[in-house]
Amino acid sequence: MILASFWVNQSGSIWLFVKLILAFIVPLAIFYGIKDASPGVRRAIIGATFFLTGLVYVLYLIWPKPIHRQPNEIPQNFSESVGFFVSDTVPVAADVANIVATFLLGLGVFSVIKIHSEKLARRHRDWPFSLVLIGSMLLMVIFGYWNYYLKNYTPAGPSLGNPANWTFPSFAEDFLFNGLYQQMEAAMFSLIAFFILSAAYRAFRIRSIEATVLLGTALLLVLRTMTVVSQLWADAPFVRDHPNMQLESIAKWLPNTFQSSSIRGVDFGVGIGLLAMALRLWLSLEKQGQGA
């Protein structure tokens, strides 16, 4: 039997079953190995896993990529074999990361339920909020899955795309998600407008030269949006002779030329810092939790 790729096997083949069993046993073995190992060994296992997984992505960046690759194509030399293997491994590694993340989401939900159940049970301060949270969570899960079941596993499912055919679960889910949750999210977002005002008031108070420059710049940008002021400015004799001094031009020049160059400088620093951090993590040079 010829294998097109390590990650692809024929349906019903022995290799497929062997790999499936290995895929089940190996992570369990690693899990129990980590659980019972001493901290030093645990760190070594985690470091090795980190390095191997990271290596796939590093090779994906620097190894020549297969060009114009066809399905079931045979690699012709070592370089191609590695290229094919790496290209096929990246989606698998991403899938594994997604599966682990899904398990962790369960832990997150467990944390929320645990904290708020305890609050409820012991009648801690503000326990009604916890009641609302747990109640909302349960309702959303019940109606979400109920509606999902109706849509996907019943004969009436396809017709539920049309609100005219909705039944109680569809209405309930729509009310909870679109009617309540989305509106509350929009309300939280709109609060930002008021917060911007209060933050701007504090920031623009003239306390220093920097604050004064900030105030002047902000003022120019605000005035630009006021048509009356823009027009009066444009009609000024000096501005008529120098179009570059129009409020519109200045307001564009500030963010496009003056600000973007500074932000790019900051972005370079952030990018290089991120790369350094990732490199330290990949090579297990970062002693997380003890480092700082």
Partner 1 sequence: MNILIAADWGNQYTDTGWFGIFVTLTVCTFILVNIFRSNQRTAKGGQLYVRRIQGLNAIDEAVGRATEMGRPILMIPGISSLGPVVVQALNIFSYITRIAGKFATPILLCCADAATYTVAQETIRDVYQTEGIGDKFDQDSVRFISDRQFAFAAGVSGLILRDQVAAAFFMGDFYAESLIFAETANSVGAIQIASSTQTTQTPFFIASCDYVLIGDEFYAASAYLTRQPVLTGSLVGQDWSKIMVALLVICGALWTSFDLGIFHRNKTSIVKKDSQWQILPAPRRVKDSDTFMSHLFNPQSDPALQNTIHRETLPSLTTESGQ
Cα dihedral value 246, 248, 249, 252, nearest 10: 160
Given candidates 21, 105, 156, 232, which one binds partner 1 under the rule CB under 8 A? 105
**C-beta of 10 vs 167, nearer to partner 1:** 10
By CB under 8 A, tell whether 28 contacts partner 1.
no
Residue 59: CB minimum distance to partner 1, A: 12
Q: Two tokens at 84?
A: 């094919």
For residues 2-21, which are near partner 1 according to CB under 8 A? 2, 4, 8, 10-12
- List CB contacts of 84: < 8 A, sequence separation 6 or more: 5, 66, 69, 73, 75
- List CB contacts of 92: < 8 A, sequence separation 6 or more: 7
Given candidates 35, 122, 123, 202, which one binds partner 1 under the rule CB under 8 A? 202
Given candidates 35, 122, 123, 125, which one binds partner 1 under the rule CB under 8 A? 125
CA distances from 251 to 48, 238, 260 (A): 53, 17, 13
The angle that helices 78-121 and 127-153 make with each other, rounded to 10 degrees, is 130
Residue 152: CB minimum distance to partner 1, A: 24
236: DSSP letter: S
With beta carbons less than 8 A apart as the criterion, state whether 88 and 5 touch: yes
Given candidates 71, 155, 163, 237, which one binds partner 1 under the rule CB under 8 A? 71
CB atoms inside a 10 Å sphere around CB 176? 17
- List CB contacts of 245: < 8 A, sequence separation 6 or more: 238, 239
**C-beta of 138 vs 199, nearer to partner 1:** 199
Given candidates 27, 33, 64, 128, which one binds partner 1 under the rule CB under 8 A? 64
By CB under 8 A, tell whether 121 contacts partner 1.
no
By CB under 8 A, tell whether 70 contacts partner 1.
yes
Q: Choose the stretch contacting partner 1; rule: CB under 8 A; options: 163-171, 172-180, 189-197, 245-253.
A: 189-197
By CB under 8 A, tell whether 280 contacts partner 1.
yes
**C-beta of 166 vs 204, nearer to partner 1:** 204
Q: Two tokens at 285?
A: 């040079």
Residue 70: CB minimum distance to partner 1, A: 5
By CB under 8 A, tell whether 159 contacts partner 1.
no
By CB under 8 A, tell whether 289 contacts partner 1.
yes
By CB under 8 A, tell whether 162 contacts partner 1.
no
By CB under 8 A, tell whether 185 contacts partner 1.
yes
Residue 288: CB minimum distance to partner 1, A: 6
CA distances from 223 to 81, 232, 251 (A): 62, 11, 9
With beta carbons less than 8 A apart as the criterion, state whether 224 and 247 touch: yes
By CB under 8 A, tell whether 203 contacts partner 1.
yes
**C-beta of 54 vs 223, nearer to partner 1:** 54
By CB under 8 A, tell whether 117 contacts partner 1.
no
Give the three-state DSSP class for 202: helix
